[in-house]
Amino acid sequence: MSFFDLPIVTSGPAVSGACASGGCATGGCASGGCSTARPDLKSETSRRDFLKTATTLTLGAMSLTLLPGAMAGDDAVPPASKPSGFPSHAKKPMYGFLIDTTKCTGAGKCLTACRVENGVPEGQARTWVERYVHFKDGRVEVDLVPEIGYAASGEPQPAAEDVLRAYFVPKLCNQCVDAPCNQVCPVHASIKSPEGIELVDTDRCIGCGYCVQACPYGIRYMNHETNVADKCNWCYHRVMRNEQPACVEACPTGARVFGRIDDPDSEISKRLATLPTSVLKQHLGTLPLTRYVGLTDEVT
């Protein structure tokens, strides 16, 4: 007998006499055919037991694959030191980046410094500098500062008498607190470090490019030498050694300022306290840590 042959209440001999004990006021018994006997209590219990056992086994087996604890085993880290949730960032230093568009001269020294420091392939960039030129006739033109500088590039320049105002806007990773690029990574290769700096785990990255599309600022790119995502990480390796990011170190005019925003005596804290600053694309709610001085509505 297989369990498909389990008795059911309408199946003739098995249910004989059920009503006699008063347990069949409702259900199948009321429709007749059950006047002589009640179902075998033992078989009812077996079905319930079966369902209980099967469910327990199934859920138990499935849960084995889900428990991280089952996988970690008893390796180097004792259970007490394992964090129960995401760590508190409160005690880590908080860094900030300030860009003063009124000081940038468009020499492009930061671009070369970044390329050398981070091995960025030519033709791609972790940081760049845009120039916004407002002409007197109302046009606004945007171009990119050449890495070798305007003088050496030989690009035709707008005549100064046609220009109402013009300014340079360096762009780099905004290190959003609520970073869209981090959220879309399918393999957890996007890392928000405890210091709040967004990094790429190049060993994990599969090069799908979702993060490149997700970044509303266009900071991320697919490195065509390594074929994984790459981005400005505020020179994380330098910051961890208490050095300035390469572009900040290279800037001769102080247009790029980097430092700890949790230290009121740092230069960036003092400048943030005295200058009106804004962020790019504030309406997206990504909460960038890179702040700008002197942005206009044209800059996005």
Minimal distance, residue 222 CB to other proteins, in Å? 18
Minimal distance, residue 99 CB to other proteins, in Å? 14
Check residue 234 for interaction with other proteins (CB under 8 A): no
Please list every residue from 2 through 21 that binds other proteins, using CB under 8 A.
2-3, 5-7, 14
Interface residue with other proteins among 20, 30, 94, 152 (CB under 8 A) is 152
Nearer to other proteins, 62 or 283 (CB): 62
- Alpha-carbon distance of 239 to 244, in angstroms, equals 6
Minimal distance, residue 282 CB to other proteins, in Å? 24
Nearer to other proteins, 204 or 282 (CB): 204
Please list every residue from 276 through 295 that binds other proteins, using CB under 8 A.
none
- Alpha-carbon distance of 100 to 293, in angstroms, equals 5
Q: In the block, which residue shows the tokens 């005596």?
A: 265
Check residue 131 for interaction with other proteins (CB under 8 A): yes
Check residue 144 for interaction with other proteins (CB under 8 A): no
Beta carbons of 211 and 190 less than 8 angstroms apart: yes
Tell me the backbone φ, ψ of residue 79, rounded to 5 degrees.
-55, -30
Check residue 88 for interaction with other proteins (CB under 8 A): no
Nearer to other proteins, 21 or 282 (CB): 21
Contacts with other proteins: how many residues (CB under 8 A)?
A: 92
Beta carbons of 174 and 299 less than 8 angstroms apart: no
Please list every residue from 172 through 191 that binds other proteins, using CB under 8 A.
188-191
Tell me the backbone φ, ψ of residue 11, rounded to 5 degrees.
-95, 55
Check residue 106 for interaction with other proteins (CB under 8 A): yes
Interface residue with other proteins among 104, 120, 257, 261 (CB under 8 A) is 104
Interface residue with other proteins among 158, 262, 281, 284 (CB under 8 A) is 158
Return the closest-CA partner of residue 230 out of 140, 100, 94, 117: 117
- Alpha-carbon distance of 181 to 287, in angstroms, equals 13
Minimal distance, residue 256 CB to other proteins, in Å? 12
Q: In the block, which residue shows the tokens 């940081």?
A: 127
Minimal distance, residue 242 CB to other proteins, in Å? 11
Binding flags for other proteins, 194-233, as an x/- string (CB under 8 A): x----xxxxxx----------------------------x
Query: What are 151-158's contacts with CB under 8 Å, separation 24+?
Result: 158/133
Report the 10 Å Cβ neighbour count for 268: 19
Check residue 275 for interaction with other proteins (CB under 8 A): no
Check residue 273 for interaction with other proteins (CB under 8 A): no
Nearer to other proteins, 47 or 270 (CB): 47
Interface residue with other proteins among 82, 136, 224, 270 (CB under 8 A) is 82
- Alpha-carbon distance of 230 to 201, in angstroms, equals 9
Minimal distance, residue 60 CB to other proteins, in Å? 8
